[in-house]
Amino acid sequence: MEDVTNIFENTGSSLIKGIMERGGAILGEKIEGFAGVLVEDKAYADALQKKVEVQAGVKGYISTDELPAYGISKEEKEAIESRFGVTGNDVVILVADEESKARRALEVIKEDVSKRK
């Protein structure tokens, strides 16, 4: 788990900007061998989102498989992937919220994904 807030210092994403302006952080976690799963299996992605909301109080997450989107640029995506050393089958999951909540959300995600692998 790593704080990648600094990658978004000049972001065009109103979602990310709003969270940062409220003192939030953007944390990321690389999940090896999980590329494409969250975009291909919508039922799983939706269930995971609900689990994150219930257990961590966070409304959701963003995976690098979805990017660029949500105002997050191709360059920001590339910077994230570089920071985490992403290869072809990896994905980085991002959570933007209060740091403690984002940290808890990523723990929930890691635990759930490890059961699925």
Q: What is the pLDDT of residues 30-40, one digit of tens each?
A: 999 999 999 99
Q: What is the pLDDT of residues 83-111, one digit of tens each?
A: 999 998 999 999 999 999 999 999 999 99
CATH code reported for the domain at 2-116 = 3.30.1360.30
Q: Which residue has the tokens 């919220």?
A: 97
**Where are the alpha helices (H) located in the chain, listed in sequence order?**
14-21, 37-40, 42-56, 74-84, 99-116
Distance of CA 104 to the CA centre of its chain: 12
Instruction: Write down the domain spans for the chain.
Output: 2-116
Distance CA 48, CA 46 (A): 5
pTM score of the predicted model: 0.95
| Amino acid at the residue 37 | V
